[in-house]
């Protein structure tokens, strides 16, 4: 079978490896406009801040390794058109400008996503030197170099999602004066409710970072073609370096006839099939069924990218047992001594969507107080008010231990449509070294159903 893969980062690499591991007879050609693959962008802040010493450690695969498995790898090649009717793709070799066509029996679309730009900024100001984005290995190299540049003293990070908060912490560690700006009034508002973000914001301020929340960026100012200030609707902030981290948009323009969500992510079924014959979409470009939202959503996570690649490849190879019935958007972050994880939908978002939800929030020590030491844990469960079905969970760990991995079974509960009572009777253990007789998950459920005597 002749298979073309468009995009060879996490999703594309996963699909290619799986295709050939299950059936080495395939004729596979993979195209990517970049010059490298498998870069773990989630580790950029760790290198910028100095936790990870060698940026090359963030790669886990190379084109040569994939070629040894039997694939035809075409780096620095841009697919500029796809014709589903003729099953052809038009490709431009970026090193020679030569344009040619290729054919396929099956096509896997893994074109990924790209950082969203800030609207309405004059082009000449948006193009100022040191106004950067964060996505690729090449971007990481620049951000690392500038972290060690003594002439760069003031750093403005626009966007307080995961990447923005992590970079703010990283540049703070490098001794820079950092301003974190967001149109939203809270950090990490997409993932966590105020019970978690309030403490995080307090810790961000204690670290010496200026928070400019609820402010809209309207312009950049510069001198000698270099940025000097970020202008918002409420103020002006000195900036020798600006990093735009306002989100990502799926790269799906090559498939205009594909069925898409409102943000143009390609809707796929449980096998990653699109509505176009013999075309699969995986990774950041696709929208899978979200168990909490109960609709198709783009969830741009490397974990989902890898799983979607395995699923599409397995289906092409005739294995229908491997499928993704749903996702829950499970994620985590560790910044400013806040170890946070969430899955599903948070309460603020649920209420904005007019869902009939209730929530249960507790703070507790993670081990019995008679132990020599213990840490603080927070948990919030968001659930359907009528059925008690779990729709979302948030966990915060503080101190020497982390309990973020508990989010795994709460994500599974969301995917399996379990209620609070189902979860309450999960067979768990108690041991003073690790938890309390009523651990924080059970305690939050008991509170939700009115049995909150654990507080005594």
Known catalytic residues are 10, 42
Name every residue whose Cβ is closer than 8 Å to that of residue 235 and which is 6 or more positions away in sequence: 212, 215
Determine whether 412 is exposed, middle or buried from the number of CB atoms within 10 Å of its CB (0-12, 13-18, 19+): middle
Token digits of residue 394:
């948030």
Q: How far is CA 82 from CA 42, 257, 268, 316, 385, in A?
A: 30, 11, 18, 19, 46
As a whole number of angstroms, the distance between CA 452 and CA 447 comes to 4
As a whole number of angstroms, the distance between CA 319 and CA 338 comes to 41
- Contact criterion met (CB below 8 Å) for 378 and 194: no
As a whole number of angstroms, the distance between CA 46 and CA 40 comes to 11
Alpha helices (H) in 86-227, listed in sequence order: 123-126, 137-147, 162-173, 194-206
In the three-class reduction of DSSP (H, G, I as helix; E, B as strand; rest coil), residue 63 is classed as: helix
Furthest-apart CA atoms within the chain: distance in Å: 74
Question: Could you tell me where the beta strands, DSSP code E, fall in 7-153?
Answer: 27-32, 72-75, 77-83, 88-93, 99-103, 106-109, 113-115, 131-133
Rounded to the nearest 10°, the torsion over CA 392, 397, 401, 406 is -10
Q: How far is CA 385 from CA 271, 297, 425, 454, in A?
A: 32, 23, 19, 22
As a whole number of angstroms, the distance between CA 360 and CA 354 comes to 18
Q: What is the CA radius of gyration of the chain?
A: 23
Residue 212 backbone dihedrals phi, psi, to 5 degrees: -120, 80
Token digits of residue 276:
């176009």
In the three-class reduction of DSSP (H, G, I as helix; E, B as strand; rest coil), residue 181 is classed as: strand
Alpha helices (H) in 219-378, listed in sequence order: 302-316, 347-352
As a whole number of angstroms, the distance between CA 283 and CA 327 comes to 13
């Amino acid at each position: 079978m002749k298979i073309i893969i468009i995009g060879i980062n996490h999703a594309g690499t996963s699909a290619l490896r799986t295709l050939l591991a299950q059936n080495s007879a395939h004729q596979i050609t993979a195209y990517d406009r970049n010059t490298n693959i498998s870069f773990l962008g989630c580790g950029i802040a760790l290198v910028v801040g100095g936790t990870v010493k060698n940026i090359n450690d963030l790669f886990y695969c190379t084109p040569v390794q994939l070629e040894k498995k039997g694939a035809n790898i075409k780096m620095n090649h841009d697919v500029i058109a796809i014709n589903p009717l003729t099953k052809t793709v038009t490709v431009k070799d970026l090193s020679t400008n030569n344009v040619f066509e290729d054919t396929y029996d099956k096509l896997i679309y893994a074109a990924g996503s790209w950082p969203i730009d800030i609207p309405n900024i004059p082009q000449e100001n948006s193009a100022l030197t040191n106004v950067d984005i964060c996505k690729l290995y090449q971007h990481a190299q620049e951000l690392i170099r500038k972290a060690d540049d003594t002439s760069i003293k003031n750093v403005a990070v626009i966007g307080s999602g995961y990447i923005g908060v992590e970079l703010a912490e990283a540049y703070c560690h490098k001794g820079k004066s950092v301003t974190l700006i967001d149109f939203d009034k809270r950090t990490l508002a997409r993932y966590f409710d105020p019970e978690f973000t309030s403490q995080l914001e307090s810790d961000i301020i204690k670290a010496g970072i200026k928070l400019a929340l609820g402010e809209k960026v309207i312009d950049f100012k510069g001198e000698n073609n270099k940025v000097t200030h970020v202008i918002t609707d409420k103020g002006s902030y000195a900036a020798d370096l600006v990093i735009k981290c306002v989100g990502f948009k799926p790269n799906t323009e090559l498939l205009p006839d594909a069925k898409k969500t409102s943000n143009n992510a390609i809707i796929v079924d449980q096998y990653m099939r699109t509505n176009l014959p013999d075309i699969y979409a995986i990774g950041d470009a696709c929208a899978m069924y979200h168990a909490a939202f109960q609709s198709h959503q783009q969830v741009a996570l490397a974990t989902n990218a890898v799983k979607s690649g395995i699923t599409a490849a397995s289906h092409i190879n005739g294995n229908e047992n491997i499928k993704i019935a749903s996702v829950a958007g499970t994620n985590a972050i560790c910044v400013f001594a806040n170890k946070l994880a969430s899955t599903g939908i948070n309460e603020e978002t649920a209420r904005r969507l007019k869902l009939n939800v209730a929530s249960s929030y507790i703070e507790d020590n993670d081990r019995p107080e008679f132990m020599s030491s213990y840490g603080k844990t927070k948990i919030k469960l968001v659930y359907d008010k009528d059925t008690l079905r779990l729709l979302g969970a948030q966990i915060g760990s503080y101190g020497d231990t982390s309990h973020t991995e508990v989010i795994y079974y709460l994500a599974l509960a969301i995917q399996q449509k379990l209620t609070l009572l189902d979860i309450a009777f999960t067979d768990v253990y108690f041991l003073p070294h690790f938890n309390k007789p009523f651990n924080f998950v059970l305690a939050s459920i008991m509170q939700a159903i009115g049995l909150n005597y654990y507080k005594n």
